[in-house]
């Protein structure tokens, strides 16, 4: 897997929430599958083949492994997500899903954390909204 992560933060009533969703790899597995289907090569630095060497071939990439974004720092984040979303809930580990989803359903794990900012910090929602809007305006 690519150990995806997402984050959302509500904003003032007149603004849409801040939302992002991303893989912890340089390129999502689905994008590699599309490149294979369409006969395209991958950009450099996306994947390693089954021999552990860099590859631009999507088929070799799907048999090998995807590289994490941000080098070793991305690897640490991917490991943290794997522990939180697979180890703790007892779901399948990425290494156990080598042929998925092509040949079998997966037992994906998830961890969802919802925080009430006013309970977390004791600050008023107006203060938190003002601080967030200051950040978003820069």
Q: pLDDT at residue 29 above 90?
A: no
Q: What average pLDDT does range 67-72 have in this prediction?
A: 92
**pTM for the full predicted model:** 0.76
Q: Say which residue the tokens 């995806």 belong to.
A: 4
More confident residue, 37 or 110: 37
SS3 of residue 132 by DSSP:
helix
Percent of the chain whose pLDDT exceeds 70: 93
Query: What pLDDT was estimated at residue 99?
Result: 59
Q: For residue 6, which phi and psi values (nearest 5 degrees)? A: -145, 165
SS3 of residue 113 by DSSP:
coil
- Per residue in 84-120, pLDDT (tens digit) is 999 999 998 888 876 555 666 667 888 999 998 878 8
Q: What average pLDDT does range 34-47 have in this prediction?
A: 97
């Amino acid at each position: 897997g690519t150990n995806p992560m997402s984050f959302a933060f509500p904003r003032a009533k007149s603004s849409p929430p801040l939302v992002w969703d991303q893989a912890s790899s340089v390129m999502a597995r689905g994008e590699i599958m599309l490149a294979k289907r369409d006969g395209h090569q991958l950009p450099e630095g996306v994947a390693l083949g089954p021999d552990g060497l860099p590859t631009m071939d999507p088929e070799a990439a799907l048999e090998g492994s995807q590289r994490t974004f941000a080098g070793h720092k991305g690897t640490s984040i991917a490991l943290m997500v794997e522990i939180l979303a697979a180890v703790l809930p007892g779901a399948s580990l990425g290494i156990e899903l080598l042929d998925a989803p092509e040949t079998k359903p997966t037992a994906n794990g998830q961890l969802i954390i919802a925080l009430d900012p006013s309970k977390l910090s004791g600050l008023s929602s107006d203060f938190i909204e003002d601080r967030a809007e200051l950040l978003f305006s820069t």
